[in-house]
Amino acid sequence: MNQTPPIRRPAVELDSEGVRRAYRRWAPFYDELFGSVTRPARRKAVRHINASQGRVLEVGVGTGIALPMYAPHLEVVGIDLSSDMLEQARRRVAKQKLGNVTALLEMDAQALAFADASFDTVVAMHVVTVAPEPELVMAELERVCRPGGEVILVNHFSAETGPRAAIEQAMAPFADRLGWRPEFPLETVLGRPGLDLIDRKALPPAGLFTMLRFCRRDETVNDVVAPGTR
């Protein structure tokens, strides 16, 4: 019998205001510092999403690096906690005339202001390591995704051993200044009751990032009762 793995919380705590302050500093040059590193992983994820249909929610849209990558047949909504990052994203949408991006909203990923099952695909790229309560983010991603839809994470997850693990551990005490947790175990995002992990893939550069694909479970399946058992 399979058991749900225990959730290990990240060792360093963050708070929403601290994240806002960090990304206020990063916003003017975020693309130059992080864009080249994260763009290949984002492109891989969006390429998969482009084969689907319907409404897409990008949680933690940031400066909108991924927005031009979405196919025009998709309706894309983006949210972010940082108004400074969103301003960069709005400029990108206007400059590149991205008509399929229908809304860019300031919103906390831990408390999304959308109805249940509002989106066909929900994607969060480089977000869960930023959230003060990553378990709340996972619960919200699950909630707003329709049954049968996909929740996709692209993120850095910490190594358990080796040189990278040592670097991540050394950086961990500075998480509040960085605005993200260098030390973040994969198990933190697993175990949601309505999400089935269907794919795990290492992404460039050099497998630094991982893409996790979850299918939103149709909970009505659990309500089916065999004839004559009631």
d(CA 62, CA 23): 9
pLDDT of residue 206: 80
CA–chain centroid gap for 172, Å, is 20
Among candidates 129, 123, 107, which has minimal Cα distance to 178?
129
pLDDT, tens digit (0-9, with 9 covering 90-100), for 111-155: 999 999 999 999 999 988 888 899 999 999 999 999 999 999 999
Radius of gyration of the chain (CA): 18
Residue holding tokens 């994240």? Answer: 19
CATH for the stretch 16-64+74-217:
3.40.50.150
Q: What's phi and psi for 210, nearest 5 deg?
A: -130, 140
Please check the confidence at residue 178 and state whether its pLDDT lies above 50.
no
Count Cβ atoms below 10 Å from residue 45 Cβ, excluding itself. 23
State yes or no: pLDDT of 63 exceeds 50: yes
Distance between CA atoms of residues 203 and 1, nearest Å: 31
By the 10 Å C-beta count (0-12 exposed, 13-18 middle, 19+ buried), 219 is classed as: exposed
Question: Cis link prior to 227 (omega < 30° from 0)?
Answer: no
pTM: 0.79
Neighbours of 46 (CB within 10 A): 23
Alpha helices in the chain (DSSP H): 16-26, 30, 36-49, 83-96, 134-144, 162-171, 175-178
pLDDT of amino acid 17: 65
Q: What are phi and psi of 95, to 5 degrees?
A: -65, -40
Each residue of 77-123: pLDDT tens digit?
A: 999 999 999 999 999 999 999 999 999 999 999 999 999 999 999 99
Model confidence pLDDT, tens digit, residues 29-50: 667 667 788 899 999 999 999 9
Scanning the structure block, which residue is given the tokens 């206007």?
94
How many residues appear in the chain? 230
Cα–Cα dist 140/79, whole Å: 13
Residue 215 is predicted with a pLDDT of 98
Compute the distance between CA of residue 186 and CA of residue 133 in angstroms, rounded to an integer.
14
Contacts of 171 (CB under 8 A, 6+ apart): 178, 182, 183
Is the pLDDT at 192 greater than 90, yes or no? yes
